[in-house]
Amino acid sequence: MEKTVREIIKETSRDHIKKNNSLIFGQCLSAVGWVGGTVPELTEKEGLIELSMADVANGGIVAGAGLSNRRPIYVIRYQGFNWFNASIILNYACKSKEIWNVPCPIFIRGIAMEGSIGPVAGSSQHSIYFKMPGIKIISPMTPNEYLIAYKDFMKNDDVMYVSEHRGSYSNTKELNDHLDDNLDLILFPISITRFEAQKAKIELEKEGYKIGIANILWIKPFLIKKEWEKAVIKSKFGGVVLDDDYTDGVASNLAYQLIKRTKKNFEVMGLKDRSAGFSKTTDNLPPSKEEIIKKCKEIIDKKGKL
C-alpha cells in the first residue's frame, strides 16, 4: 500500500533521530494527535523535546541546538507562529555559516492549515522567510517530495524551511507537471493550491481551455526549469502563480522572476489582502478550484478578444 505524506514524515523523523542522535523540538508535540500524526511517539530521552510556550526564545534555543550539528527538527505547529519564531532563526541560524563559518542546520517544519482559525494560525507564511539570506524553502505536498526535502537537508548544512500543509498529509500520489505545447495558460501552484489547480485544470479542459501545470516545490532557491520556460514562451497568455500565503510576498516575487525570464504575462492569486476571522464567513482561504477557474477564464477570454 502506498504511504501517505503523514506516514513518510513520521518515519523520516523517527529514523532521523535514531541514526543521527538528533532532536525534535516543538510545542505540545506529545499532546493529542502528535501534531496530526506526523510526530513519532517518543520520549524526551529518545529525543523528542517539549519546549515552553516562549516562541521567540524557542527559535533561539533551536538555533543553539543547530550549532551542535545534531541537525534538529523544529516543529512549528501553525505557520503564523513564525512571526515570533523566525527572528533568531533568520538572524542567527541562517547567517552563522556565512559570518562565522559555523553551519547551523535546522529542518523547520512549518505547518499550515485553514478554516475558521483566525488571523494568525491559518495559511502558509513562507514569505516571512523568503527575503532573507541563508535559507532554503521547500513546500512538499507528496511523499516523494518530502523525501527530496529531507535528503537535500542531510546532504547540505543549510537551514531549511519546509512549508507543510495539513491538507496534504493524507495524500499518497505524486503530482506531475502538465506541460503540452501551445497551452493557453500555465498554473504555477504552491503548497495546498496544487490540489485545487489539478481540479481546475480538469474542469477547464472540459470547456476547451488548454491549461498547463508547473508544480512549484522549491520556493527558494527558485529555479525555473527549462521545460517551464519553454512552455510559457509557447503559451498564449503566460501564467498564474498560486499561493497559500498573501500575494505580496513569494507569489509576486516568483511571478516577477518568471516574467523576467519569459517576457510573458503573469498574474498572482493567494490570500486576499485582509485579515482572516474565526468563522466560515470571515475566513481568508487560498484560491479554490472555482476561483482559479474564474481567474483563468478572465485572463484567457479577455485577452483572447483583444
Partner 1 sequence: MNEKIFRLKTFEKASYCRHFEEEVIKNLKLKNINIPTYVSAGQEFIAASMATICEDLKIKPLIFGQHRCHSIYISFGGDKVKLIDELLGRKTGCTKGMGGSASIASKEINMFGHDGLMGSNGPIGVGACFATNHPTIVFLGDAAAEEDYVLGGLGWASTKNIPLITVVEDNNLSILTEKKVRRNWEMSDVAKSFKMQGYNIDDDPIDLLKYSEIFFKKPCLLNVNTNRIFWHAGAGKDSDDTFDRYEEEKKRLGEDALAIDKKIKEEIKNLWKKQLEK
Question: Should residue 135 be labelled a site residue for partner 1 when binding is judged by CB under 8 A?
Answer: no
Question: Should residue 68 be labelled a site residue for partner 1 when binding is judged by CB under 8 A?
Answer: yes
The torsion angles phi and psi of 162, rounded to 5 degrees, stand at -105, 105
Q: In this complex, which beta carbon is closest to partner 1, that of residue 133 or of residue 208?
A: 133
Q: In this complex, which beta carbon is closest to partner 1, that of residue 49 or of residue 162?
A: 49
Q: What is the DSSP letter of 167?
A: G
Minimum distance of partner 1 from residue 284's CB (angstroms): 29
Stretch that binds partner 1, among 95-103, 153-161, 207-215, 219-227 (CB under 8 A): 95-103
Minimum distance of partner 1 from residue 98's CB (angstroms): 8
How far, in Å, CA of 8 to CA of 293, rounded? 32
Q: In this complex, which beta carbon is closest to partner 1, that of residue 153 or of residue 188?
A: 153
Minimum distance of partner 1 from residue 262's CB (angstroms): 37
Q: Are 97 and 156 in contact (CB under 8 A)?
A: no
CB-facing half-sphere around the CA of 131: CA atoms within 13 A = 6
Question: Should residue 70 be labelled a site residue for partner 1 when binding is judged by CB under 8 A?
Answer: yes
Question: Should residue 95 be labelled a site residue for partner 1 when binding is judged by CB under 8 A?
Answer: yes
For residue 226, CA distances in Å to 41, 259, 261, 262 come to 43, 14, 10, 11
Stretch that binds partner 1, among 29-37, 97-105, 134-142, 224-232 (CB under 8 A): 97-105
Q: In this complex, which beta carbon is closest to partner 1, that of residue 30 or of residue 87?
A: 87
Question: Should residue 180 be labelled a site residue for partner 1 when binding is judged by CB under 8 A?
Answer: no
b/e map of 76-115 (b: 16 or more CB within 10 Å)? Answer: bbbbbbbebbbebbbebbbbbbeeeeebbbbbbbbbbbbe
Residue among 13, 79, 96, 124 that touches partner 1 (CB under 8 A): 96
Pairing of strands 211-213, 107-112: unpaired
**Residue 268: its H or E element:** strand 266-271
User: Could you count the other beta carbons within 10 Å of the beta carbon of residue 180?
Assistant: 12
Minimum distance of partner 1 from residue 219's CB (angstroms): 24
Minimum distance of partner 1 from residue 228's CB (angstroms): 36
Q: Are 66 and 93 in contact (CB under 8 A)?
A: yes
- Cβ-proximal residues to 57 (8 Å cutoff; 6+ apart), any chain: none
Question: Should residue 99 be labelled a site residue for partner 1 when binding is judged by CB under 8 A?
Answer: yes
Q: In this complex, which beta carbon is closest to partner 1, that of residue 49 or of residue 296?
A: 49
Q: Are 142 and 171 in contact (CB under 8 A)?
A: yes
**Residues in contact with partner 1, shown as a per-residue x/- string from 27 to 66 under the rule CB under 8 A:** ----------------------x-xx-x-xxxxxxxxxxx
Minimum distance of partner 1 from residue 30's CB (angstroms): 15
- Percent of the chain that is helix, strand, coil (3-state, to 5): 45, 20, 40
Window 11 to 30, contacts with partner 1 (CB under 8 A): 23
Q: Give the interface with partner 1 as residue ranges (CB under 8 A).
A: 23, 49, 51-52, 54, 56-68, 70, 72, 87-88, 91-92, 95-96, 98-102
